Amino acid sequence: MVEVGLDPLVRFKDVQKTYDGEHLVVKKLNLDIQRGEFLTLLGPSGSGKSTCLMMLAGFETPTHGDILLQGQAINNVPPHKRDIGVVFQNYALFPHMSVVENVAFPLTVRKMNKTDAKKQAIRALDMVQLGEFAERRPGQLSGGQQQRVALARALVFEPQLVLMDEPLGALDKKLREQMQIEIKHIHENLGVTMVFVTHDQDEALTMSDRVAVFNDGIIQQIEPPAELYERPANSFVANFIGETNTLCGELGQVNGTECAVTLASGQEIRVQNIINGKTGDRTSVSIRPERVQLSDQKPEDQNVFEATVIETIYHGNHVRVSLDVAGQSDFRAMVRSGNIHADLNPGHKLFVGFSQDDCRALDPITT
């Protein structure tokens, strides 16, 4: 894990971006990217994550603020002078060139002689396990192999920073998962700083040292993957990173980081007080489906409800159960297939339980 320090490789300072002069795509972004870290920019379409990457690469210019690389502003530095490798979703390989010529291209642009450029390109191809395909054309390779060629080309001139914009989006699920692990291993072996853009939450959690969750041009939260998932800062993060159940209510007794919440049904539950709210505040409570226990016998959890099974869907290693809980018909539980201790047929009544440590009072409700 890379330590967050005082001397980042990249720093965004009050960066804003608008394309029409009215609507900000990126809103006053302040972000430090540490040397050697794998940072993922995660968010839905239009959230500003790709625009941030394009500004860092030099293909877009900030409307306001500065982007610093090693302490020097690079707003007006052209892309080819930033010492940054870029990997795009569509690979952007030259079809008329061989694989090794594609990888050597950044070196020839930098005036390296052809013999040395080819040797260095072969080394980069060996690094992504494609040395034996050096003389083939890109069209003779699979999608995953083409993506590795694009990665080798981004790494061949030994940049201090590599940017990847949705690079695995065109791959099938199995190949995508394989490439996630390969890229992670390459990052670990080289120690190069990588910034990765995706809208795929699983991809972000699998690969990253830290994840910055974007929405509406603003970073909602930036943390290591486990911290994001276990302790989301607000409802958007809780819902975007994995699944969550939401129960709305009013804060009752508050005791530091713990509090009671009275739901609309009148039942009181004990939760973690993430928002540091006060008694009487309206709030939404988040509970992950896999933290919900189902049983025909009343459990000893701190928070227990009577519930009715609405629907059960089998997923192989787990079962997803939709339930009516506290007047809500969209409450979900995720139970491992070998750990079912209740009748899950539709209409069956059972008990739902979850710990105080597994539910959090998040956003205040103002309406």
Answer yes or no: are the C-beta atoms of 319 and 292 closer than 8 Å: no
Tell me the per-residue pLDDT of 231-250, one tens digit each, with 9 for 90 and over.
898 889 999 998 999 999 99
CA dist., res. 348 & res. 51, Å (int): 50
Residues contacting residue 223 through CB under 8 Å, at least 6 positions apart = 210, 211, 231
What is the per-residue pLDDT for 192? Answer: 93
* pLDDT tops 70 at residue 23: yes
CA dist., res. 216 & res. 229, Å (int): 20
What is the per-residue pLDDT for 33? Answer: 97
What is the per-residue pLDDT for 15? Answer: 97
Tell me the per-residue pLDDT of 84-125, one tens digit each, with 9 for 90 and over.
999 987 778 999 999 999 999 999 888 889 899 999 999 999
Average pLDDT, the chain: 90
| Closest alpha carbon to 148 in 190, 186, 117, 200 | 186
CA dist., res. 211 & res. 330, Å (int): 28
Confidence of residue 3 (pLDDT cuts 50, 70, 90): low
| Range list for CATH 3.40.50.300 in the chain | 10-237
| Closest alpha carbon to 43 in 221, 278, 215, 170 | 215
Q: What is the mean pLDDT of residues 311-315?
A: 91
Answer yes or no: are the C-beta atoms of 137 and 106 closer than 8 Å: no
In CATH, 243-364 is 3.30.365.10? no
Amino acid at 140: Q
| DSSP output for 298-324 | PP--SEEEEEEEEEEEE-SSEEEEEEE
What is the per-residue pLDDT for 1? Answer: 52
The fraction of the chain above a pLDDT of 90, given in percent, is: 63
| Range list for CATH 2.40.50.100 in the chain | 243-364
What is the per-residue pLDDT for 77? Answer: 94
What is the per-residue pLDDT for 178? Answer: 85
What is the per-residue pLDDT for 32? Answer: 97
Phi-psi region of 89 (alpha: psi -120 to 50; beta: other; left: phi over 0): alpha
CA dist., res. 63 & res. 198, Å (int): 23
For domain 10-237, give the fold: Rossmann fold (3.40.50)
Distances (CA, A) of 224 to 10, 230, 342: 18, 10, 35
β-bridge mates for residue 283, sequence order? 249, 364
